[in-house]
Structure 1
């Protein structure tokens, strides 16, 4: 009996060794995740830029994942696990899509979010794989196949009437914010010598806020500029130029976060959901 248990354990161990290492789902940080080194840095960057531009325009999130294998899982099981972990697409709109390539298994799959299942049903995803992508992959042109497939996906999603993406403040808006803020403080310092601290601060604050709204086009930033200018001019100026020097030094230290280190390049999903829709294929 002891020998039988030993042989059984040995067989199980050999089976696990033959199955190979388990591929851990990578943490989402980029639109293109290549664990095989298939794409060159330039190819990866160009594809990421394409997907980023489309997300900024349409709002939908598309990602590409290249792994050596999905074993011991089938690519369909692996795909839904990736989709659940990454949560691509906007929450409530569910307009995410993941293109998975399992290179050593010679398999590929589109994992399609719920919100895109109407414009990219399973049959359409299957045709894109078979008719557009597979011929490239069979020739060893992975970059060409991925781009051709993604271009088709983008054209389909672009035709779908989805909610417009929320506009995020750009770096230009941040620079404009800083410029208008300091401009308002400078104007307020001049006006306060003529109209007094409170009146000068009020004029400078209102003026700065109106100009910010006209130039930057977002109300919260304009209101914030106006309030900061009014508060600093009316409360910090206790005298002549010396007061400005001391007050300005304190302000500059507080505003350092606007011009600090660059924003993180990390990227994450928007909370979208998947229900297993999509298609798989091989080459």
Structure 2
């Protein structure tokens, strides 16, 4: 009996891995769950194509009802996304910079899988994209709105800075909607224990960055592309960081990675691979 159990435990993972995976519907969107109305699908497709042209990073969106319906029965979404990523070969094979956005509506979970070229620090950026852009809309069943916002955030916070050779953008801290419960609690506590209230509110705001000149939390960042990257040469841009309170401004040049001449940047799948990095969200 123990021998049979051991054989079963050995063969079970192999049987899961042998489940056939779906073929892509396109190299931009495979909307198996039909979450996107035609007009939204067109906008998201345009955003994926333009983002790929601007950064050279291949981002693919996949939606499903359940991953079990597409060869993922009994698998965690993290393992399934890695399998799908590697079978399709998302991203440039040399840079391994592809990104897979996988959404399983009925499983109520999603995964941003990153190519093997991303260091672990980019997992945090992927988690920010999920938590700030995708999940708030998904929790109200606004999948089209969440996808559109999430794709834009994926390029802004992951693909664009990675292609430019930058670190992930700093976390701007919680939004006012995130802070509101803490603020209300702080005001109430002020009436009772004054100093304790200031401590609670300070803890809630500690992650927000301060201006190096005036100390205000009023920083914003903008990137201007001066010359786009091509298959012949790298591109160049200027990154502007400004404080709206005192007018402090800093401009720094940055480079944009040269685009590959292969399928990884112009169309199709380029043979990229993932080692399992990324982030997961549930709602």
TM-score range, shorter chain: 0.5 to 0.7
In structure 2, what is the Cα distance between the partners aligned to 1:147 and 1:141?
A: 10
Please say which of residues 48-57 and 155-164 is displaced more in the overlay: 155-164
In structure 1, what is the Cα distance between the partners aligned to 2:110 and 2:146?
A: 11
Task: Extract unaligned runs of 5+ from structure 1.
Answer: 1-21, 168-265
TM-score, L = length of structure 2: 0.53
Match of 1:96 in 2: 98
In structure 2, what is the Cα distance between the partners aligned to 1:65 and 1:23?
A: 16
Instruction: Say whether residues 1:134 and 2:135 are aligned partners.
Output: yes
Match of 1:260 in 2: none
1:116: Cα distance to partner? 3.4
In structure 1, what is the Cα distance between the partners aligned to 2:23 and 2:76?
A: 17
Instruction: Say whether residues 1:27 and 2:24 are aligned partners.
Output: yes
Task: Extract unaligned runs of 5+ from structure 2.
Answer: 1-18, 166-227, 233-265
1:105-116 matches, within 5 Å, as: 105-116=107-118
1:113: Cα distance to partner? 0.9
Find the partner of 1:166 among 223, 231, 234: 231
In structure 1, what is the Cα distance between the partners aligned to 2:147 and 2:22?
A: 20
CA contact (8 A) 1:113 1:273 kept: yes
1:267: Cα distance to partner? 4.9
CA contact (8 A) 1:68 1:102 kept: yes
Q: 1:116 to 1:165 in 2, by over 3 A?
A: farther
Question: Which structure has greater strand proportion?
Answer: 2
1:31-110 matches, within 5 Å, as: 31-71=28-68, 72=73, 73-110=75-112
1:68: Cα distance to partner? 1.0
In structure 1, what is the Cα distance between the partners aligned to 2:230 and 2:86?
A: 22
CA contact (8 A) 1:79 1:100 kept: yes
Q: 1:150 to 1:27 in 2, by over 3 A?
A: closer
1:123: Cα distance to partner? 2.1
In structure 1, what is the Cα distance between the partners aligned to 2:20 and 2:131?
A: 26
Q: 1:275 to 1:164 in 2, by over 3 A?
A: farther
Match of 2:149 in 1: 148
Q: Deviations over 1:85-119 (max 9, x none)?
A: 1111112111100000001101100001122336x
1:28: Cα distance to partner? 5.2
TM-score, L = length of structure 1: 0.53
Q: 1:127 to 1:159 in 2, by over 3 A?
A: closer
Q: Which of the two has higher C-alpha Rg? A: 1
Instruction: Say whether residues 1:277 and 2:277 are aligned partners.
Output: yes
1:23: Cα distance to partner? 7.5
Instruction: Say whether residues 1:125 and 2:126 are aligned partners.
Output: yes
CA contact (8 A) 1:23 1:70 kept: no
Aligned length: 163
Match of 1:268 in 2: 268
1:224-243 matches, within 5 Å, as: none
Question: Which structure has greater helix proportion?
Answer: 1
CA contact (8 A) 1:29 1:267 kept: no
